[in-house]
Amino acid sequence: MNSIVASLADYRIEEAQTLMTPALAIYADAVDHNIRSTLRVLGDVNRWRPHIKTVKLAYVIRRLVEYGVENMKCATTLELLTACEAGARDVLLAYPLPAPAAARTIDIAAAFPNTTISALIENPSQISLWAGTNTGLFIDLNSGMNRTGMQTHDLQQIVGIAREILRSGLRFRGLHHYEGHLTQADPTERTTAAHAGYSVLMSIVDALQSSGIDVEEVITSGTPALPCALAYEPFRSASFVHRVSPGTIVYNDWSSLEQLPAEYGFRPAAVVLTSVVSNPAPDLATCDAGHKTVSADAGMPNCAVLGNASVQPLRPSEEHLPLLLSSGSSLALGSQLYLVPKHVCPTVNNFDHALIVSGGRVVAIEAVTARGRELPMRHSSQLAVSP
């Protein structure tokens, strides 16, 4: 693991022994450090549209806004609502929306008229969902991830859907190109692949502009591709606003700290406090942080133990995380460990509340505001919702 996460000294919580575990701890000073580091790396606050699926907490979104980060991206209507309430001024709901979710997005937009809200489309049939609204539309492109988006080679179809947006009286905002599949360990290999995709992206911009269609903004890059986008010179001199959308870097995790250059200076800001609850064998201990606590979606091991190289996390079950102990080491019942998730985004989503830590002490408890989803029915006033 990156040496940045090797020290435990800055993460110990004075009152840890009095806390029920597992617990999510968010370190306010580290959050601020990571935001400042991102702005230093970008050189311009206007180039960042962080994806708040990681951030989740209104508390942290407000912190971003205080640093001047007012353009955001999200995946759910609850995240959209949270961002608007926290002061974001321009939010893209970057997920293909069926009609009921689009209708709810329009409700939220009406409640926050001073916030610019946009959506993605990839098919002309989706345009009618936004008819008569002020919602901006981005065209979603399939960057090779094969998850969502239009095929990038079909320039005629892309130009056609942009024209249809404008003919419908809606605002065509630009292009969304998420190259999240580019996670090669070799930074040079990753950059080469990303730049090939960006060249195709620029040809799409050229085709639109040659057809008299203005491209306001182009959005690329989650966390792994961030250095690739910053190294692509045509983005700097482009006629459009180019924004990157990494959100993981606000908290960072094991994966991001390995993927990004050490000189960026990022630190883990979201850590799981866990307790040893069993010693089932001489070389094993079990703590109370199963995959319902620390997400296992990014593979095994799903976390690293901060400041303790003698402990190797094994495959978790729902509530248990077994730990392999190196020869001669031990963990007593009740011992507490600090875990750095391999994938912090869904880990944060596992918690209802987060401990806000500063100076080694818990200074606040904040709701994980955008955890989960809104009620599936927009108009449920006649139905009883059980607590």
The reply to whether 385 falls in a domain is no
Which residues of the chain are under the pLDDT cut of 50? 1-4
The reply to whether 37 falls in a domain is no
Residues 238, 263: one domain?
A: no
User: Domain of 330: which CATH number?
Assistant: 2.40.37.20
The reply to whether 35 falls in a domain is no
Three-state DSSP class for 169?
coil
Spatial separation of the C-alpha atoms in residues 72 and 49, rounded to whole Å: 4
Spatial separation of the C-alpha atoms in residues 116 and 247, rounded to whole Å: 19
Tell me, what's the pLDDT at 178?
A: 98
Could you read off the pLDDT of 344-360 as tens digits, one per residue?
999 999 999 999 999 99
**Residue where one domain finishes, among candidates 188, 219, 245:** 245
Residues 265, 217: one domain?
A: no
* 153 Cβ contact list (under 8 Å, min separation 6): 200
In sequence order, what DSSP letters do the residues of 249-282 get, joined into one string? GGT--HHHHHHS-GGG-----EEEEEEEEEEEET
The reply to whether 38 falls in a domain is no
Residues 232, 266: one domain?
A: no
Mark 39-78 as b/e (b = at least 16 C-beta within 10 Å): bebbeeeebbbbbbbbbbbbbbbebbbeeebbbbbbbbbb
Tokens at residue 193, please?
Answer: 């692949």
**Residue where one domain finishes, among candidates 213, 245, 277:** 245
The reply to whether 240 falls in a domain is yes
Spatial separation of the C-alpha atoms in residues 25 and 354, rounded to whole Å: 6
Tell me, what's the pLDDT at 6?
A: 53
The reply to whether 165 falls in a domain is yes
* Closest by Cα among 316, 293, 307, 365 to 338: 307
Tell me, what's the pLDDT at 380?
A: 62
User: Domain of 153: which CATH number?
Assistant: 3.20.20.10
Tell me, what's the pLDDT at 385?
A: 64
Task: Give 274's strand partners.
Answer: 337
* Closest by Cα among 132, 135, 137 to 163: 137
Tokens at residue 37, please?
Answer: 């580091």
**Residue where one domain finishes, among candidates 245, 260, 275:** 245
Domain coverage including residue 307: 1-28+252-372
Tell me, what's the pLDDT at 327?
A: 87
Where do the DSSP E strands lie in 110-204? 116-121, 136-142, 150-151, 171-177
The reply to whether 114 falls in a domain is yes
Domain tally, the chain? 2
Where do the DSSP E strands lie in 54-168? 71-74, 90-93, 116-121, 136-142, 150-151
**Contact (Cβ atoms closer than 8 angstroms) between residue 373 and residue 42:** no
Residues 260, 217: one domain?
A: no
